[in-house]
C-alpha cells in the first residue's frame, strides 16, 4: 500500500477518484484542489483551475489526459475540463448552455462524458464530446427515450465508445455506437429500448 499523501493545505486530506494502466492517479486534496500523479502514484501535481479556486479531477485515460470540473474566474460557476497528456494544459469544455458542467470519464481518444445544466433549465443533461474534448453534445439529442424521460448524467466511456448513463426515471443505460452509412446509431440496453437511429449532426 502506498500513501499518495497531499500537497498540504486545508484539512490535509486527499481522495483518489481515477487511475489508468500506468498507475497515474487523479483526485482532489485539501479543499477541492485537483491532483495528478506520475506512474504508480508517485509525484503528486496540482492541476490548477480555470481561473477560480477549486477543482476536482475524476478520470484519466491511457495517455494521462485528465477530466473533471473546475471553478472559472470569479468562482461564479464551474465547468468541465480536459487536460493534455500527463495532466498538462487544462482546457475549459464549456457547458450545454448553463453555468455548470462536470466531466466524469474519458477514453483513449479523449472523448469525455459527464453532465451539464442547460440554458433556462435547472435540469442536468448527460453529454459526450468528440476526440480531445471537441464539441460537447447533449446525449439526449442522439437517442429517444419515452416521454418525459431524459439522460441526466454520463459516468463513463470506454475505448470502444460505449457510454454508461443514468436517466431521470432512475434507470441505468449502456449506450453503444453502431457505425452506419451517413448516420449515427446508439443501442440502449435497459427498459427494453434497442436500436434508436438518429442522423449524424454536422
Query: For residue range 48-78, what is the model confidence (pLDDT) as tens digits?
Result: 999 998 999 999 999 999 999 999 988 779 9
At the top level of CATH, the class of 14-198 is: mainly beta
d(CA 24, CA 191): 37
Task: Using the predicted structure, report yes or no on whether residue 142 has a pLDDT greater than 50.
Answer: yes
Query: For residue range 21-33, what is the model confidence (pLDDT) as tens digits?
Result: 999 999 999 878 9
CA proximity to 184, closest of 137, 151, 148:
137
d(CA 36, CA 200): 35
In the chain, where the domains are located: 14-198
CB distance 79 to 68 below 8 Å: no
Task: Using the predicted structure, report yes or no on whether residue 192 has a pLDDT greater than 60.
Answer: no
CB distance 50 to 81 below 8 Å: yes
Q: Which residues lie closer than 8 Å to 33 by C-beta, 6 or more apart?
A: 7, 9, 10, 46, 54, 55
Query: For residue range 93-106, what is the model confidence (pLDDT) as tens digits?
Result: 999 999 999 999 99
Using the CB atoms, write b or e for 19-48: b if 16+ within 10 Å. Answer: ebeeebbbbbbbebbbbbbbeebeebebbb
d(CA 138, CA 147): 17
pTM over 0.75: yes
Q: How many CB atoms lie within 10 A of CB 122?
A: 9
Amino acid at each position: 500500500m502506498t500513501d499518495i499523501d497531499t500537497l498540504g493545505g486545508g484539512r490535509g486530506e486527499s481522495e483518489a477518484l481515477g487511475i489508468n494502466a500506468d498507475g497515474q492517479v487523479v483526485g482532489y486534496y485539501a479543499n477541492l484542489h485537483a491532483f495528478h500523479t506520475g506512474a504508480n502514484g508517485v509525484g503528486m501535481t496540482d492541476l490548477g483551475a480555470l481561473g477560480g479556486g477549486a477543482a476536482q479531477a475524476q478520470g484519466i485515460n491511457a495517455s494521462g489526459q485528465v477530466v473533471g470540473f473546475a471553478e472559472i474566474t470569479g468562482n461564479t460557476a464551474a465547468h468541465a475540463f480536459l487536460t493534455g497528456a500527463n495532466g498538462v494544459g487544462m482546457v475549459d469544455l464549456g457547458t450545454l448552455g448553463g453555468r455548470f458542467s462536470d466531466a466524469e470519464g474519458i477514453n483513449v481518444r479523449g472523448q469525455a462524458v459527464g453532465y451539464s445544466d442547460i440554458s433556462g433549465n435547472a435540469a442536468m443533461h448527460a453529454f459526450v464530446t468528440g476526440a480531445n474534448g471537441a464539441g460537447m453534445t447533449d446525449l439526449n439529442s442522439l437517442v429517444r427515450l419515452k416521454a418525459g424521460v431524459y439522460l441526466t448524467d454520463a459516468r463513463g466511456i470506454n475505448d470502444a465508445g460505449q457510454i454508461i448513463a443514468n436517466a431521470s426515471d432512475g434507470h441505468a443505460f449502456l449506450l453503444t455506437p453502431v457505425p452506419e452509412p451517413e448516420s449515427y446509431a446508439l443501442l440502449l440496453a435497459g427498459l427494453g429500448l434497442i436500436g434508436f437511429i438518429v442522423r449524424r449532426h454536422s
